[in-house]
């Protein structure tokens, strides 16, 4: 059986996973002119690559950020966790927002002499992610192929930087602080020493497509409902995977919350954590553990009904 005390990520690890899973953020800089910085904030969505513990930002050549950071290098980034497919509409219906992080720091242009090196690093990251996908077993590739056509892998989205005709200023974002805002709206300050020492999860670059592929399968969603029943003694009318990492996964289950005066029950979406028995070093290991858990709960339910 699974114990709930296992497989819980630290706040720093959650932040690293959000950064490693996403490829775009909202960049904020102080608006400036020839006389210096003003109080106004300029915000725009830009793409980035998370490498060696920090974001590298691709700022379009015509974006006002390029002027602002010359006068004032301070900036902030807002990065949301990847919420694919049906989870988007579900979050809206229950008035929740995805977990997100706010980073403050300094924006430093890498210089013309390092532009090609940055592009090569981006290309190498894309190549390695594609290699992992190409070497997946049939069972794992089946999950990925089940995902919505709108749900592209992180490497596909990053490839657009290299394939496009736009010119960019490539900058390094030197972090000073990191804050997590969870999907309940609570804020958590991150210790920067802990942030620096923690590692990004190997599943993060693939998590959006992986989660969407699982949620698109009715059989796998029924298995998530059985997880709630067998492992947590909770009956769920529906269930969706919310996040996945090397230690486990989070599930949103539609569970009873109260009985109304007319005798009918009400339901709410509640978050549950399911740790893996062993850490998964890659998506192949994660999917293998998931299948093992599915087999285990099916056998358990069969024994309850006298069929085992």
- What does the domain layout of the chain look like in residue ranges? 11-200, 212-304
SS3 state of residue 79:
strand
- Per-residue pLDDT, averaged over 29-57, amounts to 85
Percent of the chain predicted with pLDDT > 90:
66
Distance of alpha carbon 5 from alpha carbon 289, whole angstroms: 18
Distance of alpha carbon 147 from alpha carbon 142, whole angstroms: 9
SS3 state of residue 9:
coil
pLDDT band at 35 (very low <50, low <70, confident <90, very high): low
Angle at 57 between CA 149 and CA 176, to 5 degrees: 120
Give the other-Cβ count within 10 Å of 304's Cβ. 11
pLDDT band at 265 (very low <50, low <70, confident <90, very high): low
Identify the CATH assignment for 212-304 out of 3.40.50.300, 3.20.180.10, 3.30.300.30, 3.40.50.1400: 3.20.180.10
Between 81-95, 105-119, 285-299, the lowest mean confidence (pLDDT) is in 81-95
DSSP assignment letter at 47 = E
Distance of alpha carbon 31 from alpha carbon 37, whole angstroms: 6
Q: Which runs of consecutive H residues, i.e. helices, occur in 115-217? A: 115-134, 138-145, 154-163, 192-197, 207-215
221-245 per-position pLDDT tens digit: 999 999 999 999 999 999 999 999 9
Q: List, in order, residues 6 or more apart from 228 with CB less than 8 Å away.
A: 234, 235, 236, 239, 251, 253, 255, 272
Give the other-Cβ count within 10 Å of 177's Cβ. 13
Helices (H) and strands (E) in the chain, counts: 10, 10
Q: What is the pTM of this model?
A: 0.88
Identify the CATH assignment for 11-200 out of 2.30.110.10, 3.40.50.1100, 3.30.43.10, 2.40.37.10: 2.30.110.10
Residue 281's nearest CA partner among 193, 217, 199 is: 199
Distance of alpha carbon 102 from alpha carbon 116, whole angstroms: 29
Between 52-56, 76-80, 100-104, 222-226, the lowest mean confidence (pLDDT) is in 52-56
């Amino acid at each position: 059986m699974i114990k709930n005390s296992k497989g819980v990520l630290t706040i720093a690890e959650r932040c690293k996973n959000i950064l490693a899973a996403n490829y775009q953020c909202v960049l904020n800089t102080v608006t400036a002119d020839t006389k210096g910085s003003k109080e106004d904030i300029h915000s725009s969505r830009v793409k980035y690559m998370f490498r060696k513990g920090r974001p590298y930002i691709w700022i379009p050549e015509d974006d006002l950020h390029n002027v602002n950071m010359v006068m004032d290098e301070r900036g902030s980034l807002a990065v949301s966790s990847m919420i694919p497919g049906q989870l988007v509409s579900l979050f809206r219906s229950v008035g929740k927002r995805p977990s997100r992080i706010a980073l403050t720091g300094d924006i430093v242009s890498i210089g013309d002499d390092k532009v090609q090196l940055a592009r090569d690093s981006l290309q190498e990251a894309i190549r390695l992610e594609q290699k992992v996908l190409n070497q997946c077993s049939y069972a794992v590739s089946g999950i990925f192929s089940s995902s919505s056509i709108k749900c592209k892998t992180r490497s596909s989205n990053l490839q657009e930087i290299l394939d496009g005709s736009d010119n960019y200023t490539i900058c390094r974002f030197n972090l000073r602080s990191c804050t997590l805002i969870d999907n309940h709206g609570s804020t958590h300050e991150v210790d920067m020493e802990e942030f620096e020492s923690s590692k990004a999860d190997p599943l993060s670059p693939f998590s959006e497509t992986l989660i969407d592929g699982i949620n698109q399968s009715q059989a796998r969603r029924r298995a998530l409902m059985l997880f709630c029943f067998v492992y947590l003694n909770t009956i769920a009318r529906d269930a969706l995977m919310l996040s996945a990492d090397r230690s486990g996964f989070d599930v949103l289950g539609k569970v009873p919350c109260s009985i109304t005066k007319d005798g009918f029950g009400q339901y709410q979406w509640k978050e549950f954590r399911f740790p893996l028995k062993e850490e998964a070093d890659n998506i192949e290991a994660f999917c293998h553990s998931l299948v093992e858990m599915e087999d285990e709960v099916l056998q358990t339910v069969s024994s309850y009904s006298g069929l085992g």
